[in-house]
A = this chain, B = another copy of it.
């Protein structure tokens, strides 16, 4: 189920999490749960709409502590319940191209004894975009969000 990773173009978070895939999947696919973990606090994503099917849109607004508000829009590409979720910001709903593509996300939830091998991969078009994403704080930001995800998943 896992794509080969290109270390020159991709960024990866991998964790063994002590909850089964189901609750983690729920946190990724139910707006009221996603709102509670997707951005590292004090940032938050609100106004989340998820049309969970290939070609379906996702939409949200990432809000910062200083009143920042950035739309986050994209398109689901693969939706394999409790196993694999793929989306991109290179497209919007209905597979329409979108200017300034940044990344595709591939999240896999592999069941293992005692929980889930959770992997989040960000694919970029080129090494420059990967470096920019890393410099924006990919590891810190996605790492903290993954801590929040695991903590929330343990409660549901």
A binding-site residues for B, Cβ under 8 Å? 3, 9, 54-55, 77-78, 86, 88-91, 94-99, 101-104, 106, 123-126, 129
Contact B97 A123 (CB under 8 A): yes
Q: Which residues of B contact A78 (CB under 8 A)?
A: 54-55, 95
A97 to B127, CA, bound (A): 12
By beta carbon, the residue of chain B nearest A95 is B104
Contact B98 A90 (CB under 8 A): yes
A126 to B100, CA, bound (A): 12
Contact B54 A77 (CB under 8 A): yes
Given contacts A77-B55, A126-B99, whether A91 and B88 have CB atoms under 8 Å apart is yes
Q: Which residues of B contact A88 (CB under 8 A)?
A: 90-91, 95, 97
The 4 closest A-B pairs by CB, nearest first: A97-B101, A90-B90, A90-B97, A97-B125
Contact B94 A3 (CB under 8 A): yes
A141 to B125, CA, bound (A): 29
Given contacts A54-B54, A90-B90, A104-B91, whether A97 and B77 have CB atoms under 8 Å apart is no
A28 → chain B closest CB, angstroms: 17
A11 → chain B closest CB, angstroms: 13
Q: Which residues of B contact A129 (CB under 8 A)?
A: 97
